[in-house]
């Protein structure tokens, strides 16, 4: 009988968290326990690691996602377990899950099958409270903005040009567009605003890019909350909110340590959106892991065109990280969909369609290599994959000068990814020559064009004059050296989610650009980006509850 | 040199939380650690305590509060430490602090001087995340309400009659009155609503009155979220939100264990408003403490007219608690203010004014005795109190047939309250005959009148016909047996906050009545009650931050 992910997770033979920390040489005194199976790593211990050499950083990314599923996190976990099995001191780094969306659609595991990170329930609920702290810090700033205006608006903030909204970790469409400050003089000035979901907060992106508490406060201070009538920016520091926000985030900045089913240490920390933000776990977690482990396996959001590009151009650039190798996760199923097969027909062997769909994988291989990072493809094995399909996929990848390794970690845990692990070690030991895609001093528009042409293979990048004027204004205000963060559909290299495979020559329309001065990037929005989800007709919440034993049911 | 509360708290010689638990016989395996100095007590351990005998419950209450300060929590802590010193197995139970208001006015300690509960910073910030969990559970229900209407409103909820608002643990006046659901069909239906601060949430009151997870879910299910056009109620259970809310509150329901400066165990759990709710810590905490300790010292919000009355008539009635004795905290300063002395003149001896002000204390003594609970008065000593003033106060209390004991726990810790502790033990061992003020089957209006006349000494209780009709509707819907929760100014026995001392014959106007069907009481609102505070012109947040050592500054 096949067990579900949650059944496997509940049966996990977890080791006490102090034992997991000890695998990385973290003394028990440097672990701040949250229950017996979760801990934060104390900042003073982390600060003492500065002089240590760093391990090798392995990025797990994927083909463009399809409804067929790729198993990127599952592969991240399986590879981590496999590296530990072949004797490498290993740590895994992934993002935290957002609480709210679990009550809409069913929540998920971190990984799947025998390649999971636990405790699964807590990781899908409050975990160590990081997202709640981010919500509080974000909303404190919002309260201070309206309060400032209420008491006389000495900073002359234009109430029509306030860009800072509020956040909640909940799917609540009714809060997307609201009017606040109604009810008379005691309640302030009425104005339009709204709520985003917490993972869309710039505070989330900042927490994930901050190197330490000082850097965190500096970044928070740089947040632009809105503009005066003369279009000059008003910042969080102008409102003197940065110190109090840092206090609210003091504990949240410390990385969370948990474990895989095979007791490999895993840092699960931070969770920025992968569209309007950069979509990777915190620099604090990755940086700490690199000081403690020989191999650090991490992942980036969505496919490699979005996730890996942002990982390289935003996170690695800003944090000085040098990835040693990249794993691109592909499945026979997903590539068949990229080759035109409908979801309902995936069980049928279709080598021809697979070969067509391989173009999507090929483009990602080429792109990742363009950053100077060596690539191996992990074929995340599904039961219905046929030998002919697997052989065709491996032949295609070999034709690209790379290797595609069949992995079975979902069914077998780390043992199913040992071949992949050995190949990753070989690539990483051979050395990489990582470089970001574009230099800091390229104009903002040219950065967008570079990504669209080189990564997406677009023929043209289009934008209204207002968008170009906005970029010019950002540059005039000194934000020109920032990297750009592309917000585009994850389902295609183009901006049309239905266009699978490897389209070329399409037009990328940049509808809007936004400044995230604290996080340190300019967001280019190319398509509809939803920053506050809604609940479906029958929300998962309706069937979530506790059973007689106090276990959560209906969440997974 | 006098140390501030925060300096004293930081210098505390805290013992590991397992050692604190051991003082109450809690095995380490039943403690869920949150750092090294905070833990939750596991629900399965608590469930196993049912057959144990219970210790004695001591309520600390106070005269009507004045700006001079009474030190009720300080006395609760000092008395707890003193009981431990004289050899009693003792636990303290108090409320958790709300995070948001700390960023408006400076936050405070739990207690003061040498009678404090620690860790102070965490207790004023995220602590163990209970309030964040309550916020999430409350707002999940709100999202499910608007989502239900968006998808067709099968329950026929009248959007004009939705009583469930949203909550945030932040002082944010702009959210008091808002319009949600703007922006077109994808965002639902526009309607007026607003946010309250989290401590005002009915979910908070429910968490504090629930006996276990089943009772928690039952109560959540009974929440009335609004009405149909035919005025019938729609509940949380109708929306199927009760299970998911229980999941969000599963950890939060477990009491938090911390310690005093003298390492006496203290449960700090739950924090409902003392006006629109009942204002005491959780039944879970008090019930658990009674199973583990010989003496449990707890406190109620505001003065005895509000806090003690609700403690007796709501919490004790519903949880089957039998208080063994009550301590009424008074200060010479506060009674002089009740006797007409201005705050600026408090340093000057004024025995005559003190004698006049004693009427306030006398009324509270008489009221508490009316519940069949023996009383001792604790004089919380201030440096400026003169021997003549103290003697006059003691003589007054002796004239009421009680004893007023001078306590010096602020300056000396538990050693300063040993006389009080011995008197409390003598009273408690002599036995109490506790009974609530009114029977369950009294009509709701008569319950309000009984409290107003017997406790407040009002001459008349006034209400519009609409209020009486609303009470009749609650009774028709089966809510007649609920106790009433009075929301009135805490500064006076009357509804005029300026009327100090012991006024009689005043009119108590009941402006509005609200149903809290989940918490299990009907709120009678007698005056302006603010459920979402605002920030002041210069919020404390502006000066809150971290120093070089990572300590919080400006919060206290």
Which of A38, A43, A56, A72 is flagged as catalytic? A72
Q: What is the mean pLDDT of residues B167-195?
A: 98
With an 8 Å Cβ cutoff, is A133 touching chain B?
yes
pLDDT 10s digits, A130-158: 999 999 999 999 999 999 999 999 999 99
- How many angstroms separate the CA atoms of A221 and A239, rounded? 9
Q: Looking at A153-260, which runs of residues are DSSP E strands?
A: 157-162, 166-168, 178-180, 191-193, 195-197, 224-228, 233-235, 256-260
Q: How far is CA B325 from CA A310, B322, B424, in A?
A: 65, 9, 7
Where do the H-state alpha helices sit in A86-153?
Answer: 120-124, 130-150
pLDDT number for residue B496: 94
Class of domain B5-128+252-430: alpha beta
Q: Which fold has domain B444-526?
A: Formyltetrahydrofolate synthetase; domain 3 (3.10.410)
pLDDT 10s digits, A396-427: 999 999 999 999 999 999 999 999 999 999 99
pLDDT 10s digits, B428-443: 999 889 999 999 999 9
- How many angstroms separate the CA atoms of B414 and B421, rounded? 9
Provide the pLDDT confidence category of residue A108 given band limits of 50, 70 and 90.
confident
pLDDT number for residue B309: 98
- How many angstroms separate the CA atoms of B246 and B421, rounded? 39
- Written as six digits, the tokens of A371 are 């950053």
pLDDT number for residue A224: 98
Residue of A nearest to B243 (CA): A545
DSSP secondary structure, B257-320, as one string: EEEETT--EEEE-----SSSS-----HHHHHHHHHH-SEEEEE-SSSIIIIIHHIIIIIIHHHT
Provide the pLDDT confidence category of residue B1 given band limits of 50, 70 and 90.
low
With an 8 Å Cβ cutoff, is B105 touching chain A?
no
pLDDT over threshold 90, residue B445: yes
Is residue A170 within 8 Å of residue B166, measured between CB atoms?
no
pLDDT 10s digits, B482-533: 999 999 999 999 999 999 999 999 999 999 999 999 999 999 999 888 999 9
Q: Which of B133, B537, B541 sits opposite A140 (nearest CB)?
A: B541
pLDDT number for residue A1: 54
* Superfamily the domain B130-249 falls into: Domain 2, N(10)-formyltetrahydrofolate synthetase (3.30.1510.10)
Q: Is B21 helix (H, G, I), strand (E, B) or coil?
A: helix
Q: Looking at B73-164, which runs of residues are DSSP E strands?
A: 90-94, 110-112, 115-118, 157-162
Which of A12, A23, A40, A74 is flagged as catalytic? A74
pLDDT over threshold 90, residue B320: yes
Q: What is the mean pLDDT of residues B474-486?
A: 98
Q: Which residues contact A76 (CB under 8 A, 6 or more apart)?
A: A60, A92, A94, A111, A297, A298, A299
- Written as six digits, the tokens of B485 are 């929760």
Residue to test with chain B: of A143, A188, A235, A250, most B Cβ within 10 A: A143
pLDDT over threshold 70, residue B551: yes
Provide the pLDDT confidence category of residue B81 given band limits of 50, 70 and 90.
very high
Q: Which run of H or of E encompasses A521?
A: strand A521-526
Please give the angle made by the CA atoms of B172, A168 and B214, to the nearest 5 degrees.
105
A71 belongs to an annotated ligand binding site: yes
B72 belongs to an annotated ligand binding site: yes
A192 to chain B nearest CA, in Å? 9
A331 belongs to an annotated ligand binding site: no
pLDDT number for residue B528: 84
pLDDT over threshold 80, residue A35: yes
Calculate the average pLDDT of chain A.
96
**Pairing between strand A31-33 and A39-41?**
antiparallel
pLDDT over threshold 90, residue B334: yes
> Quick one: chain B helix, strand, coil %, rounded to 5?
40, 20, 40
Residue for token pair 């726990």: B409
Does the CA dihedral A204-A210-A216-A222 come out positive or negative?
negative
- How many angstroms separate the CA atoms of B556 and B553, rounded? 7
pLDDT 10s digits, A166-190: 999 999 999 999 999 999 999 999 9
B533 belongs to an annotated ligand binding site: no
pLDDT over threshold 80, residue A489: yes
pLDDT number for residue B232: 96
With an 8 Å Cβ cutoff, is A43 touching chain B?
yes
Does A99 sit within 8 Å of B247, measured CB to CB? Answer: no
Q: Which residues contact B485 (CB under 8 A, 6 or more apart)?
A: B276, B277, B278, B310, B314, B516, B521, B522, B523, B524
Q: What is the mean pLDDT of residues A237-241?
A: 98
* β-sheet bridge partners, residue A381: none
Residue A185: list chain B partners with CB under 8 A. Answer: none
Residue for token pair 């959210």: B175
Does A555 sit within 8 Å of B241, measured CB to CB? Answer: no
Q: Which residues contact A320 (CB under 8 A, 6 or more apart)?
A: none
Which of A382, A386, A434, A473 is flagged as catalytic? A382
pLDDT 10s digits, B4-53: 888 899 999 999 999 999 999 999 999 999 999 999 999 999 999 999 99
Which of A45, A273, A302, A312 is flagged as catalytic? A302
DSSP B99: S
Domain ranges of chain B: 5-128+252-430, 130-249, 444-526
Q: Which of B133, B142, B552 sits opposite A126 (nearest CB)?
A: B133
Catalytic residues of B: 72, 74, 95, 106, 274, 302, 382, 410
How many CB pairs below 8 Å do chains A and B form together? 227
Residue A126: list chain B partners with CB under 8 A. Answer: 129, 132-133, 136, 248, 251
pLDDT over threshold 70, residue B270: yes
Q: Which of A44, A133, A240 sits opposite B126 (nearest CB)?
A: A133
pLDDT over threshold 60, residue B311: yes
DSSP secondary structure, A370-396, as one string: HTT--EEEEEE--TT--HHHHHHHHHH
Provide the pLDDT confidence category of residue B107 given band limits of 50, 70 and 90.
confident
B187 to chain A nearest CA, in Å? 5
Residue A175: alpha-carbon gap to chain centroid: 24
pLDDT 10s digits, A64-73: 999 887 899 9
Residue B180: list chain A partners with CB under 8 A. Answer: 174-175, 178
- How many angstroms separate the CA atoms of A328 and A70, rounded? 10
pLDDT 10s digits, A331-366: 999 999 999 999 999 999 999 999 999 999 999 999
pLDDT over threshold 70, residue B341: yes
């Amino acid at each position: 009988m096949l067990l579900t992910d949650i059944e496997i997770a509940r049966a996990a033979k977890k080791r006490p968290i102090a034992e997991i920390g000890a695998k990385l040489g973290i003394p028990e005194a440097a672990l701040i326990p949250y229950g017996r199976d979760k801990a934060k790593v104390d900042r003073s211990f982390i600060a003492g690691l500065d002089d240590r050499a760093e391990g090798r950083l392995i990025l797990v990314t994927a083909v463009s996602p399809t409804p067929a599923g790729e198993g990127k996190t599952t592969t991240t976990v399986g590879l981590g377990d496999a590296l530990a099995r072949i004797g490498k001191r290993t740590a895994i780094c992934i993002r935290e899950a957002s609480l709210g969306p679990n009550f809409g659609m069913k929540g998920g595991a971190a990984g799947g099958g025998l390649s999971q990170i636990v405790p699964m329930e807590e990781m899908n609920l409050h975990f160590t409270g990081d997202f709640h702290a981010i919500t509080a810090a974000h909303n404190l700033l919002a309260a201070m903005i309206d309060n400032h205006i209420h008491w006389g608006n000495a900073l002359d903030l234009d109430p029509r040009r306030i860009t800072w909204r509020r956040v909640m970790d909940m799917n609540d469409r009714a809060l997307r567009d609201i009017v606040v400050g109604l009810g008379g003089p005691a309640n302030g000035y009425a104005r339009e605003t709204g709520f985003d979901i917490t993972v869309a907060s710039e505070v989330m992106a900042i927490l994930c890019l901050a190197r330490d508490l000082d850097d965190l406060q500096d970044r928070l201070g740089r947040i632009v909350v809105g503009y005066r009538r003369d279009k000059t920016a008003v910042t969080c520091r102008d409102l003197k909110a940065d110190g109090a926000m840092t206090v609210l985030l003091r504990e949240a900045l410390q990385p969370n340590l948990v474990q895989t089913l095979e007791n490999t240490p895993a840092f699960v920390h931070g969770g920025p959106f992968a569209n309007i933000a950069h979509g990777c776990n915190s620099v604090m977690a990755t940086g700490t892991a690199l000081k403690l482990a020989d191999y650090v396996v991490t992942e980036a959001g969505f496919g490699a065109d979005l996730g890996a590009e942002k990982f390289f151009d935003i996170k690695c650039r800003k944090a000085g990280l040098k990835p040693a190798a990249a794993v691109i996760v592909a499945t026979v199923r997903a590539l068949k969909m990229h080759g035109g097969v409908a979801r309902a027909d995936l069980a049928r062997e279709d080598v021809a369609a697979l070969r067509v769909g391989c173009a999507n994988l090929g483009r990602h291989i080429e792109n990742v290599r363009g950053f100077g990072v060596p690539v191996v493809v992990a074929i995340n094995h599904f039961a219905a994959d046929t030998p002919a399909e697997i052989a065709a996929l491996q032949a295609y990848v070999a034709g690209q000068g790379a290797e595609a390794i069949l992995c079975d970690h979902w069914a077998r845990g780390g043992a199913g990814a040992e071949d992949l692990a050995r190949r990753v070690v070989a690539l990483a030991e051979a050395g990489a020559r990582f470089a970001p895609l574009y230099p800091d001093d390229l104009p903002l528009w040219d950065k967008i064009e570079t990504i669209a042409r080189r990564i997406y293979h677009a023929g043209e990048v289009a934008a209204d004059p207002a968008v170009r004027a906005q970029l010019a204004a950002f540059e005039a205000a000194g934000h020109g050296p920032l990297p750009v963060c592309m917000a585009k559909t994850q389902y295609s290299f183009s901006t049309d989610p239905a266009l699978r495979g490897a389209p070329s020559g399409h037009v990328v329309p940049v509808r809007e650009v936004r400044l995230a001065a604290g996080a340190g990037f300019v967001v280019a929005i190319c398509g509809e980006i939803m920053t506050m989800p809604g609940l479906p007709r029958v929300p998962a919440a309706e069937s979530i509850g506790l059973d007689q034993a106090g276990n959560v049911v209906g969440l997974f």
